[in-house]
């Protein structure tokens, strides 16, 4: 490799290595050679980069300009950073004719969504006065519940809990709510569901019943009109063969305020979004929800594609899962509730209870060690899909034969009986060696301030805490029941069998010519005999 110099005339350093050129010599170098060397060096610095499109000469000029304008301290230590800043400034977009589109930070978007929660409306003062008159605040203390569950590492962040509290405040101002409770949060693939368990005032429940009755009457009138039109068409057209299949009788849903429809549920995707009321649940929806396993999307109008087909959309499926989870995981300390009448203890259909004023809470250690310290205060759902069994064939029929057939079917159907209300959770069945409940204290280091925490293994995500006379149930999960084995969807029913082959419907074989001739001869003989008999009768 060639070292430094002598440079060729076309190279940038040509002329600087001449013998007469030195700053320490008294002789003046050749001015022409010096100017040529300067021009070559400048030409080299002005070469444009093929990657960035910049040249070193302009870059040095911009660096010096920036240094002289800003005059930073210890410039030699930050010369590399200044060089980077100058390069970045060259690549900034300069759109003078267009407006700058500033990106909206996510914190600003979240603040805009929650802005409506912090606005106090005019109806809140009247609602507060009503609460003072009644003496029972309908707004739940979500922050206190979050504090107790936080002792065991369960729950949401403090900010989200406070937003949910403000959302509940808006819900109570919009609807005539008697009691309200934070049921939990069900996760979805696109959005989540925040669920409020509400008990409306008595007058509102009656109005809902009337509205539902009017809807059913309107549906019945439409069906009657359609049936009349079909009858008119049938009169004009020949009647097709009628099917002898009779579908099983539809099991009616439980009335509002009882059984699976004891409470009304409102849901929203995020605090600040409008609350949506879920429809009442039907037994058919609960029965079908036990056979399928679907993730929620977060859209109430989304269809539920499954087998067997689910009778409704995601709002109905969500309501069915809420009923199942509530029936299996809502528990309270034993003795906290008691029946309103002593006679109801022996009745299986009793679902009314009240708080026991003489209840003395057991210590936390006892509630953790023994599951007999807890009891279910929500009735179990039967296989029929209801909390109280009903005979679906107790309707008046016109045909006695149909009544006799239904009586035979009723004899086969046995009345279902579930566990009575306030049953101890120690009687719950496990799942292949896994207990139904797991109890533990929030801390073992300071037992005098610990809280009893129960976790449901049958419904992962369901938790309960108890501290003195305070307890609460909550759910955070996907809304799926635990199964030791993989979920196996139901198989489709077997294909329908062919119609039985009988002599009346089998196709006859075509006769031969000889058989046709013999048949004609037999017919002629029979006609001749008939004519002879008629002649004889006329002669007589």
Per-residue confidence in pLDDT tens, the chain, 540 aa: 445 555 566 666 555 555 555 555 555 567 888 888 888 888 888 888 888 778 888 889 999 999 999 999 888 899 999 998 888 887 766 555 566 677 888 888 878 878 888 877 655 555 555 555 554 567 899 999 999 999 989 999 999 999 999 999 999 988 888 999 999 999 999 999 999 999 988 766 656 666 665 555 455 555 555 656 666 655 566 677 777 878 888 899 999 989 999 999 999 999 989 999 999 999 999 999 999 999 999 999 999 999 999 999 999 999 999 999 999 999 999 999 998 776 555 455 566 788 999 999 999 999 999 999 999 999 999 999 999 999 887 754 444 455 555 445 444 567 888 899 899 999 999 888 899 999 999 999 998 999 999 999 999 999 999 998 999 999 999 999 998 888 888 888 888 887 777 777 777 788 899 999 999 999 999 998 888 888 888 876
Report d(CA 156, CA 187) in Å as an integer. Answer: 13
E strand residue ranges, 271-407 = 276-277, 331-333, 337-339, 353-355, 374-376
Report d(CA 318, CA 296) in Å as an integer. Answer: 8
* H or E, element range at 264: strand 264-268
Strand 470-477 relative to strand 177-186, pairing: parallel
Residues in the chain: 540
Cβ neighbours of 314 (radius 10 Å): 20
Over its C-alpha atoms, the chain yields an Rg (Å, rounded) of 43
**Cβ within 8 Å of residue 448, ≥6 positions away:** none
Q: Is 240 helix (H, G, I), strand (E, B) or coil?
A: coil
Report d(CA 223, CA 233) in Å as an integer. Answer: 15
* H or E, element range at 507: none
Report d(CA 47, CA 149) in Å as an integer. Answer: 69
Strand partners, 477: 186
CB 473 within 8 A of CB 331: yes
Q: What is the DSSP letter of 353?
A: E
List the structure tokens of 317. 């499926």
Q: Is 75 helix (H, G, I), strand (E, B) or coil?
A: helix
The residues spanned by each domain of the chain are: 43-90, 138-211+251-338+354-377+428-477
What pLDDT does 374 receive? 94
**Does pTM surpass 0.95?**
no
Q: Is 145 helix (H, G, I), strand (E, B) or coil?
A: helix
Comparing CA positions, the residue from 328, 347, 311, 316 lying closest to residue 461 is: 328
Q: At what angle do helices 79-90 and 56-70 cross, to 10 degrees?
A: 110
Phi, psi values for residue 193, rounded to 5°: -120, 125
SS (H, E, C) 124-136: HHHHHHHHHHHCC
């Amino acid at each position: 490799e060639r070292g430094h110099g002598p440079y060729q005339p076309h190279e940038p350093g040509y002329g600087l290595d001449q013998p007469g050129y030195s700053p320490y010599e008294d002789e003046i170098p050749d001015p022409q050679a010096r100017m040529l060397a300067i021009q070559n060096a400048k030409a080299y610095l002005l070469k444009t980069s093929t990657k960035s499109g910049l040249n070193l000469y302009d870059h040095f000029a911009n660096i010096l300009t920036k240094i002289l304008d800003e005059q930073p301290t210890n410039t030699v230590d930050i010369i590399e950073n200044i060089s980077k800043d100058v390069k970045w400034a060259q690549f900034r977009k300069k759109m003078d004719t267009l407006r700058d589109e500033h990106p909206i930070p996510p914190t600003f978007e979240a603040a805009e969504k929650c802005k409506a929660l912090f606005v106090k409306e005019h109806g809140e003062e009247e609602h507060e006065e009503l609460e003072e008159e009644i003496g029972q605040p309908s707004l739940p203390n979500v922050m206190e519940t979050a504090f107790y569950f936080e002792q065991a590492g369960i729950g949401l962040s403090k900010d989200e809990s406070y937003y949910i509290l403000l959302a509940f405040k808006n819900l109570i101002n919009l609807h005539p709510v008697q009691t309200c409770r934070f049921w939990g949060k069900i996760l979805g693939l696109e959005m989540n569901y925040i669920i409020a368990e509400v008990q409306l005032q008595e007058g509102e429940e009656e109005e809902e019943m009337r509205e539902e009755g009017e809807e059913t009457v309107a549906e019945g009138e439409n069906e009657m009109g359609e049936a009349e039109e079909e009858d008119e068409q049938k009169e004009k057209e020949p009647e097709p063969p009628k099917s002898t299949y009779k579908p099983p009788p539809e099991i009616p849903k439980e009335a509002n305020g009882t059984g699976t429809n004891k409470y009304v549920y409102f849901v929203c995707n995020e605090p600040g979004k409008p609350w949506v009321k879920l429809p009442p649940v039907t037994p058919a929806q609960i029965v079908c929800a036990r056979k399928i396993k679907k993730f929620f999307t977060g859209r109430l109008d989304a269809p539920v594609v499954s087998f067997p087909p689910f009778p409704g959309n995601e709002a109905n499926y969500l309501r069915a899962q809420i009923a199942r989870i509530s029936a299996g995981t809502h528990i309270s300390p034993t003795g906290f509730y008691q029946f309103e009448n002593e006679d109801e203890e022996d009745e299986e259909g009793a679902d009314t209870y009240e708080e026991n004023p003489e209840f003395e809470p057991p210590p936390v250690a006892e509630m953790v060690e023994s599951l007999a310290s807890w009891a279910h205060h929500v009735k179990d759902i039967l296989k029929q899909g209801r909390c109280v069994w009903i005979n679906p064939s107790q309707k008046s029929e016109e045909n006695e034969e149909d009544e006799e057939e239904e009586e035979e079917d009723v004899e086969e159907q046995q009345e279902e009986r579930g566990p009575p209300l306030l049953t101890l959770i120690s009687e719950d069945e496990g799942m292949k060696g896994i207990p139904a409940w797991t109890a533990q204290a929030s801390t073992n280091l300071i037992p005098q301030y610990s809280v009893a925490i129960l976790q449901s293994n049958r419904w992962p995500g369901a938790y309960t805490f108890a501290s003195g006379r305070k307890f609460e149930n909550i759910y955070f999960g996907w809304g799926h029941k635990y199964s030791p084995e993989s979920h196996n969807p139901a198989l489709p029913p077997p294909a329908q069998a062919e119609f039985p082959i009988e002599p009346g419907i089998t196709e006859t074989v075509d006769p031969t010519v000889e058989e046709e001739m013999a048949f004609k001869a037999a017919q002629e003989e029979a006609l001749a005999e008939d004519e002879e008999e008629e002649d004889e009768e006329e002669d007589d």
